[in-house]
Amino acid sequence: MNAKVAGYIAAWRPTSVPAEAACFARRVVTAAAPAGRDRAKNLLWAAGKLAGWAIPLGLDPAPQVLLHPSVIERFTAHAPGLSGPARRTLRTNLRFLARAVVPHLDPADVPLPRERARAPYTPSQIAGFLALADAQPTLPRRMRATALVCLGAGAGLIRSDLRNMHGSDICRRPGGVIVTVRGGRAPRAVPVLARYHARLLAAAEFAGGALLTGGTDPARHNISNPLTRSLAGGTGLPPLDTSRLRATWLADCAQLLGLPALMHAAGISCSQRLGDIIAGLDPGGEEQAVALLGASTR
């Protein structure tokens, strides 16, 4: 910690924080040795607020008491008069101070790997999978493999939505093709990307009232494994993964809707706030779904 920061901490005596609380804040922030003045200021504010709340409640102004995880949690989650953002900031800063000053009370977690979104397939890779599907030895297997690729990359269906899909669930509407997801967590109408219309309709016609991806029991598991195995023979093609097929559909839709341009223009890099906003809007019905990808309902 450089002398300038140390001097700032030593001189920190705000009128809004009681003297005893300010003394505690200076002590723990000095022990945490922040790198810059701004960081020191934020940590001093957090420690001062904590001590200002805890000391009147009879807690001893000692780091091992006030920086105990339970005290930090109680203060940040339940102390009156704090806004939501202030609570989050305080908790982050106080946990940082606790890790630095009393590390034995709450050792830091070992960071675990975090998965990002799956990478979409390229158009040539999708074409390769469709070609492999066409090369299957029997008609039923050709149809099932085609349906798997088209439902994944053309409608973004995975897992039970995919397994439960019957031929009758695919229907043509003026301006587009709709896949009706009936069961599962989110029953909905899904528009199919135009380039998969013909193949999907053919597979649906072949399946009729039966399941599109094969089998007789919708509750069956690992039904896609034999199909994906059958499509794994292409040279230079990556393994077929339904999650990547869905990512491909999402990327295509986002591009069609102009979502990247919107997020860039709004300065949003994370979709969380967007989700909060959209949660309050009407998702619409089948007509809106058909119109989603630019098709006309007339």
Partner 1 sequence: MNTPLAALEAIVDASGAAPAIEALLPAGVRGRQLTARTLLTGMLLVLADCQPAHLTEVRKALTSLPEADQERLGVTVTWKNGLHQLTYRQVEHTCRLIIKALGKETPDGAPSQALQSACDQLLEASLPPALKDASTALAGDWTDVEAWSRPPRHGATKCADPEAARGHRTSNLPGPKGELFFGYYLSAAVMTREENGPPVPELARRMTVASCNHDPVRALVPVLEKMPADGIPLGDLLADSGYAHRDANAWAIPMRRAGAQLIQDLHPHDRGPRGTHEGALIANGNLYCPATPKPLLELAPLPPGAAPDTVAGHDQQAAELARHKLGRLTADDADGYHRVTCPATAGKIRCPLRPQSMTLSRDRPEILTPPEHPPACCAQQTITVPPSVAAKTRQKHDYPSAQWRRSYRRRTSAERVNATTKDTASNNIARGWCRLTGLTPLTLWLACLLAVRNQRILHAFDARQAGNARRAAAGIPPTRRKRRTTLAALSASPP
Tokens of 266: 């709004």
Among 71, 192, 200, 245, binds partner 1 (CB under 8 A): 71
Instruction: Return the SS3 of 184.
Output: coil
Nearest to 213 by CA among 243, 239, 134, 222: 222
Binding mask 148-187 for partner 1 (x = CB under 8 A): ----------------------------------------
277 near partner 1, rule: CB under 8 A: no
Q: How far is the C-alpha of 298 from the C-alpha of 296, rounded, in Å?
A: 6
Q: Is residue 163 classed as helix, strand or coil in its secondary structure?
A: helix
Please select the residue that binds partner 1; options are 35, 57, 117, 119, rule is CB under 8 A: 57
Nearer to partner 1, 74 or 166 (CB): 74
Nearer to partner 1, 71 or 170 (CB): 71
**DSSP-assigned letter for residue 259:** H
Q: Does 51 bind partner 1 (CB under 8 A)?
A: no
Tokens 């990547």 correspond to what residue? Answer: 244
Cβ 85 to partner 1 shortest distance, Å: 20
> Does 82 participate in binding partner 1 (rule CB under 8 A)?
no
Cα 274 to Cα 84, 230, 271, 279: the distances in Å are 19, 39, 5, 8
**Separation between Cα atoms, residue 258 and residue 281, nearest integer Å:** 19
Interface with partner 1 includes 198 (CB under 8 A)? no
The stretch near partner 1 (CB under 8 A) out of 57-65, 84-92, 169-177, 207-215 is 57-65
* C-alpha–C-alpha distance, residues 37 and 251, integer Å: 43
Give the CA radius of gyration of the chain.
Answer: 29
Count of residues binding partner 1 (CB under 8 A)?
14
Residues that bind partner 1 (CB under 8 A): 56-60, 64-65, 68, 70-71, 73-74, 77-78
